[in-house]
Homo-oligomer: A and B are copies of this chain.
Amino acid sequence: MAAADLDSFDRKILRILQRDNMTSQREIAYQVNLSAAAVHRRIHRLHADGIITANMAVLSPSKIGRPISVIVELEVESERPEELEQVKRSLAAAPEIQQCYYVTGEVDFIVIVSVADMSEYEEITKRLFFANPNIKKFRTYVAMDRVKTSFEMPVD
């Protein structure tokens, strides 16, 4: 998991692919000033080395009928490893949960949930939070505005 050493070409390629991985290798080659073959070899290596971990299409939440994002803070009863792992597994397995972070500080987990409406959220609280004896309490924040949603990160 050590940081890989990327040269300036790799970084440029990654910046392009982060924004749009449908960009043709020919176009990338033109933009970064390499041959298409060289770009291909580099992208292949970036995959093999686990630097690129996935390639995904991003969907419009409203257009597919899940217009509401909810951010939830969870506190657990016990942080014993087994109990903790059980909570992690349960949260990670829920398809409505897009993201889950185990964090330092006053709360234990921060979770981002995508739902169609608040009644679906209520159903999820019952299924995942109230039904889990190790979840002590949770606090709900409903997003009024998804100001920025991406996984893009600076590559430098």
Interfacial residues, chain A to chain B (CB-CB below 8 A)? 1-4, 6, 14, 17-22, 49-67, 69, 71, 88, 91-92, 95-107, 109-110, 114, 139-155
Cα separation A140 to B67 with both chains bound (whole Å): 27
Report the copy number of this chain in the oligomer.
2
Given contacts A57-B18, A105-B141, A153-B98, contact A62 B3 (CB under 8 A): yes
Whether the pair B142, A55 counts as a contact (CB closer than 8 A) is: no
Main secondary structure of the interface of A (DSSP, over half): mixed
Whether the pair B153, A63 counts as a contact (CB closer than 8 A) is: no
CB distance from A40 to the nearest CB of B (A): 13
Candidates B69, B100, B107; contact of A148 at CB < 8 Å: B100
Residues of chain B within 8 A (CB-CB) of A56 are 17-21, 55-56, 58, 150-152
Which of chain B's residues has its CB closest to A143's CB? B101
Whether the pair B18, A91 counts as a contact (CB closer than 8 A) is: no
Whether the pair A143, B102 counts as a contact (CB closer than 8 A) is: yes
Residues of chain B within 8 A (CB-CB) of A109 are 147
Whether the pair B150, A59 counts as a contact (CB closer than 8 A) is: no
Residues of chain B within 8 A (CB-CB) of A154 are 66, 95-96, 114
Which of chain B's residues has its CB closest to A19's CB? B56
Residues of chain B within 8 A (CB-CB) of A101 are 69, 71, 141, 143, 145-147
Candidates B52, B92, B105; contact of A58 at CB < 8 Å: B52
CB distance from A153 to the nearest CB of B (A): 5
